[in-house]
Structure 1
Amino acid sequence: MNIYALLVDDDLDLAASLMEYLELEGVTCDHAANGVHGLQLARENKYDVILLDVMLPKLNGLSVCSRLRRDGFDVPVLMITARDTLTDKIEGFEVGSDDYLVKPFALKELLLRVRALAKRRSTQPRRFVVEDLEVDTEQHEAIRAGVRLALSPKEWELLEYMAKMSPNVVSRDEMQRAIWGEDLPESNSLKVHMHKLRQKVDKPFPVPLIQTVPGVGFALRKQS
């Protein structure tokens, strides 16, 4: 079967070699040399699999993958990177990648993984439930106690990210990187958006779900 893939890697020589090999094996590749362009192509086109380097200019691969998952894209993502520690791999899987291949790798192994991933869509969950709050990434909606919440784009991104990480605590720095990428907002921007989000998610209901953990960050979970 013909496979349509997106390769996002800023090593142009390596990218050219990978694309040449894959296309000989029936894998048609588009290429982006930075995270912003990669994210744009991923949103505009329908791919069977995305090959995503982690260390990218403008927007790193972890942020690209996280944003695609927040937007409801279920295309399988294969992280290809020189970062080989267990922590690096866990970080990749936590943002929604499906597989992880450490450089340098054999071209045959890359091809086998691409073919395997292309046979299925991502298994990342699309619906998250925290008490009486439902966050549906496929339908792009949040419902609490049967009431659909009218959220701004940034409020939705914040809630979706916390829902995916629930019940874990998300640090302020981690949340800012996940939502704004390398283009960090003004110092009080996160605080303002979180305040507005609380007015919609918690204020109309008897039990608050958005917790502030002093000195750390935020968590979406029932008060203990």
Structure 2
Amino acid sequence: MVGKLYKILLVEDEKILSDNLKLILESEGFFVEVLENGKEAEEHLEKISQYDVVVLDVMMPYMDGFDVCRKIRSKNKDVPVIFLTARDDVEDKIKGLNIGADDYLTKPFHTKELLLRIQNLLKRTKKTAEEVIIGNCKINFYSYEIICEERNYQLSQREVRILELLYNNAGKVISRDEILDKIWGVEVYPTPRTIDNFIVNLRKIIEPDPKNPRHLISVRGVGYKLVL
């Protein structure tokens, strides 16, 4: 199992394969969204930054994986991309890597190999230390534990992801819409009030005085920022 709720975008037109990969990756603790072709992937480009890894088939209808990868890189140069292809051709691999892919896997492959490659890319691109300090609290983003003044608390996956997002952007105001996009994604879309409820609960743990917060700060009409 992975230690946090990473989000994977899987673009694959072979339904049996995509269904199997989704099932296996979700059993390992990933959130997986599946798209069936390059055109659908193109329509998701504005939200590409919400994903931690993109797994992309090369041969697809409407738009092939190479063109999709080019468009992804025009929007986001950091999100890791893994190509899947039935063509075991060196020139194709070189082309894919030159376009901006981070890895290349030839079909048929063992799902354990794909899982290991995803995990290696996540380790390489990980931005947050395993443990961080916010105020008087020590937070472990991988065990979901938080220790505040010798009291232990267990956080939910979404509480951890909200804290991690704010920590990676400390001092910057993050809008409620951005939090919803990056934590809940496109399939489940609650109201902005949901974010407020999560922040209230986190303040009860982190803040010495939750009614007068020093770390999880509200910015009226916009969202929240973290002050370390």
Bin the TM-score by the shorter chain.
0.5 to 0.7
Q: Corresponding residue for 1:136?
A: 140
Alignment pair present for 1:83 and 2:72 = yes
Aligned residues of 1:135 and 1:160 also touching (Cα < 8 A)? no
Distance 2:51 2:22 in 1: 6
Distance 1:131 1:167 in 2: 14
Aligned residues of 1:135 and 1:163 also touching (Cα < 8 A)? no
TM-score by length of 2: 0.54
Distance 1:197 1:175 in 2: 15
Q: Which runs of 5+ in 2 are unaligned?
A: 1-7, 30-34, 54-67, 84-90, 106-115
Q: Aligned residues: percent identity?
A: 17
Match of 2:10 among 5, 8, 11: 8
Residue 198 to residue 40, structure 1, CA distance change in 2 (3 Å): farther
Q: Deviations for 1:43-87, whole angstroms, at most 9, x for unmatched residues? A: 3259xxxxx986577xx6544428xxxxxxxxxxxx9352343xx
Aligned residues of 1:170 and 1:217 also touching (Cα < 8 A)? yes
Q: Deviations for 1:140-173, whole angstroms, at most 9, x for unmatched residues? A: 2223344333434443332233223323221110
Distance 1:39 1:165 in 2: 30
Number of residue-to-residue matches in the alignment: 169
Distance 2:120 2:184 in 1: 30
Alignment pair present for 1:32 and 2:18 = yes
TM-score by length of 1: 0.55
Q: Deviations for 1:8-47, whole angstroms, at most 9, x for unmatched residues? A: 215x2xx79xxxxxxxxxxxxx9438xxx8665423259x
RMSD: 4.3
Question: What aligned pairs does 1:14-93 form with structure 2 within 5 A after superposition?
Answer: 31-32=17-18, 40-44=23-27, 55=42, 62-65=49-52, 80=69, 82-85=71-74, 88-89=75-76, 93=78
Secondary structure at 2:93 match in 1: helix
